Structures are given as C-alpha cells and as structure tokens.
Structure 1
Amino acid sequence: MNVLLGLIETLCQLPENLSDDDLSEASAAVLYLKQVGFKMDWLEEKLEEVQEKKTKVNTGKAQLQHMEEEFKVLNKKCLELKDLTSNLFSGRVLYENFERHPETALTFIQNTTKLRTYDSFIVKTYKE
C-alpha cells in the first residue's frame, strides 16, 4: 500500500519538479503493483500524461535557452552596428571598423549624403 501512496504522491507533483529517476521509479512501481494484482490502467495513463508534460517542459526549456543565446548574438551585432553608425555620423570613423568590415564601412560612407570632409578624406586615403 505504501508503494501505491508513494506513486500517487509522485504523480501529483509538477512535472518540472520530477527527475527522470522519479519517473523511472514510478514506472517500476506501476509494474510492481500490476504484478501483485492491482488494476493500474488509470494510474498508467496518469504516468504517461506526466511523462509527456515533463518532455514538453524540457523541450520548452531547451528552446528558451536557444532563443536566449540567439538574442545575445543578435543584440551584440546590433550594438556593434549602432556603434559603427554613430562613429560614422559623428566623423569619428575608427580604423578598426574599416579593418573588420571594410566593404560595409566604405559602401555606407559613400552612400551617405551627410558626410563631413574628414570622412571623405578617410575614404580616399583608405582606397589608396
């Protein structure tokens, strides 16, 4: 009877609070109770539901972590572009930006109408 009560307590917990070991022990408990003569169909269904929910929770956590990593990468790129554009518009074009992204920086400067003489001088000097 203690096995049955422990099994019910386990299955009443939130899926994210259950470990894989807990679910394995619950499966073993269901098999044991079936072997000793209990009708366990309803509890087997409940166990399957909990296992499916646990899988969904784990999948959701993995997707969230992946999205957070992608966000960090995109945010870093966005900050780099903001820094690059602010430097270009203020006339403080940095040599490192030309070195890292020469084609992008040159194209941007050439296509921008609000350039200072200083910017044009750098473009001409860099092309030579």
Structure 2
Amino acid sequence: MEETFEQRKKYCLNKLDLSKKGSVDEDIQHVVYLINSCKDLFTTSSCSGRIILFDGFPNNSDVQKKGCVWLFVAHSKCTFDDLMSGLSRSTNDAVLKFEPFVLHVQCRRLEDAQLMVLQESSGCPVLR
C-alpha cells in the first residue's frame, strides 16, 4: 500500500530526532514550526548553521563526520578560546568545518515546491 503524504508527514514529525544535538536549533525553530503548520509542507531536516571542530582521520583525506570525535560544535558565534579548548583534546589532525544554514522541506505537490521557491502565496503563512 502506498504511503500518503499525511502518513509521511505524521511519521516524520513524530519520530525521534536522531541528530547529535537532538533538537531543532533555537534560531530557526519559528521557521520550522511555521512550515510544519502548513498542511502541504513539512521539514525533514534543518540546521541553523554550525562550526564543527573534530579529530581528523590521518590515513584518509576525506572529511567525514560519521564515526569521528567532535571536539567542539556551536550553532552560533564561538570564541578563539572555545576552539583552542577543543584542539587541546585532539589526538589527530583536527578539522575545522563551517556548515551554513540548511532546511529540507517535503512538499505535497510540485506546485507547492515551486511556490516556495517563487515565494508566492498558497494559503500558507510561510509563503506569504
């Protein structure tokens, strides 16, 4: 049986947040909640942007987050001392990574996605 949009939305919004942080970033909560209040849209992933310092992999040139040790992470401004404190715990070559804002939204129809991109009104307060 094919899963309906409503079933996917309900499942996604009720499932456990498996991110390392475990919750929606405070700076973008209002946007996420507003999108999720629309009947034809829901968020599947979001991040307000972050700075990550993690132990690198000495035998691998790829920068990967899975399975690595996070030395420091911030979703807002950080200080030099914050980074130096993280570096003091490093056992390999440390990697500093900046990830900008990201928001993944699932739309009921292609037209809903196009309206989001064009920022036109579709009866949803997000798109006005």
TM-score, normalised relative to structure 1: 0.22
Q: Higher strand fraction: Structure 1 or Structure 2?
A: 2
Considering Cα pairs closer than 8 Å and 6+ residues apart, tell me whether 1 or 2 has the greater RCO. 2
Q: Higher helix fraction: Structure 1 or Structure 2?
A: 1
